[in-house]
């Protein structure tokens, strides 16, 4: 078993997961083993070709919301249907089955290494992500209401390591691209960098995150209680999600060897 990623945005997550599973990051897919794959939506055709060539099996870590355009890609759909799937969002389990006939075995979470806490943070409020109408409206509203604050909305058109930017931010906004999406990748990375996170209601995930961030649909929290540490969040997630994920991985490996 090895971990592999097709996108640098998941590089830190892949390193953390490989460490948890006591395995390594694969530089190539060339063995008849189980590969746990981050970012499979980036090149599903290549993964299918490599799978046929080396007779391997994949556990695809689907990081895409069920409404994503990636689910219009016939090769990505085929990849998910012919392999094992884990998902980052509980609501995706039902919707992927209904909309795309994809079975999700379990959930996974995006773990990041904890960063040294930087005390001087010039950015008061930060958002980083793809631009859309809602995000632009929130940016305009906040900059108009709080002209005295350093508010930055960044809409990069290509991947860049945002860790240095997060280490300079006091608060990070979690504004979803899709209406019912938690976007836990953004939440976890910001928390790992010592930022306060202000998020919309996370629905079914509130129970996991309510003690670690501020929930406010207008992104102006009134709850100013001290939040619990990222270290505590990691410990909770390992008990709630990773423990079962590890069990599923062991079952898959057992089944794969028996074939």
From CA 105, how far away is CA 258, in angstroms rounded?
19
Quote the pLDDT of residue 189.
Answer: 96
Low-confidence stretches of the chain (pLDDT < 70) are 222-224, 258-259
What is the SS3 assignment for 171? Answer: strand
Quote the pLDDT of residue 222.
Answer: 67
Quote the pLDDT of residue 153.
Answer: 97
Q: Are residues 93 and 144 in the same domain?
A: no
Residue 142 belongs to domain spanning: 123-228
From residue 132, give the alpha-carbon distance in Å to each of 158, 198, 235. 16, 18, 34
Quote the pLDDT of residue 4.
Answer: 97
Q: Is residue 114 included in any domain, yes or no? A: no
Q: Are residues 42 and 65 in the same domain?
A: yes
Quote the pLDDT of residue 149.
Answer: 94
Domain count, the chain: 2
> In this structure, are strands 84-87 and 57-62 parallel, antiparallel, or unpaired?
parallel
CA dihedral 205, 210, 212, 216 (to 10 degrees): 100
Q: Is residue 248 included in any domain, yes or no? A: yes
Q: Are residues 90 and 160 in the same domain?
A: no
Quote the pLDDT of residue 116.
Answer: 84
Express each pLDDT in 181-203 by its tens digit: 888 999 999 999 999 999 988 88
CA angle 135, 179, 83 (to 5 degrees): 115
Q: Are residues 20 and 80 in the same domain?
A: yes
Quote the pLDDT of residue 258.
Answer: 59
Q: Are residues 86 and 142 in the same domain?
A: no
Comparing C-alpha atoms, which of 132, 179, 173 is closest to residue 149? 173
Quote the pLDDT of residue 67.
Answer: 87
Q: Is residue 117 included in any domain, yes or no? A: no
Q: Are residues 27 and 97 in the same domain?
A: yes
pTM over 0.85: yes
- Tell me which H or E stretch contains 60: strand 57-62
Q: Are residues 19 and 59 in the same domain?
A: yes
Quote the pLDDT of residue 96.
Answer: 92
Q: Are residues 71 and 148 in the same domain?
A: no
Which residues contact residue 38 at a Cβ distance below 8 angstroms, ignoring those fewer than 6 apart?
A: 3, 4, 5, 6, 7, 10, 13, 14, 61, 63
């Amino acid at each position: 078993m090895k971990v592999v990623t097709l996108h640098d945005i998941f590089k830190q997550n892949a390193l953390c997961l490989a460490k948890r599973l006591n395995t390594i990051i694969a530089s190539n897919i060339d063995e008849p083993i189980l590969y746990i794959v981050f970012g499979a939506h980036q090149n599903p055709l290549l993964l299918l070709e490599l799978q046929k060539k080396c007779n391997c099996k994949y556990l695809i870590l689907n990081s895409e919301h069920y409404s994503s355009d990636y689910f219009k890609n016939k090769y990505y759909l085929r990849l998910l249907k012919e392999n094992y799937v884990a998902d980052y969002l509980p609501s995706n389990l039902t919707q992927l089955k209904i909309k795309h006939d994809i079975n999700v075995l379990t959930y996974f979470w995006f773990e990041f290494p904890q960063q040294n806490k930087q005390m001087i943070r010039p950015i008061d409020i930060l958002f980083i992500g793809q631009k859309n109408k809602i995000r632009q409206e929130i940016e305009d509203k906040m900059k108009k209401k709080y002209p005295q604050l350093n508010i930055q909305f960044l809409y990069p058109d290509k991947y860049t390591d945002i860790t240095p930017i997060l280490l300079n931010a006091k608060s990070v906004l979690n504004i979803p691209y899709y209406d019912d999406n938690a976007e836990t990748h953004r939440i976890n990375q910001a928390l790992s960098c010592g930022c306060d996170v202000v998020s919309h209601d996370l629905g079914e995930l509130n129970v996991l995150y309510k003690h670690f961030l501020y929930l406010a649909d207008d992104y102006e929290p009134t709850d100013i209680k001290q939040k619990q540490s990222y270290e505590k969040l990691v410990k909770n997630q390992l008990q709630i999600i990773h423990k079962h994920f590890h069990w599923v991985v062991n079952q898959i490996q057992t089944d794969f060897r028996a074939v």
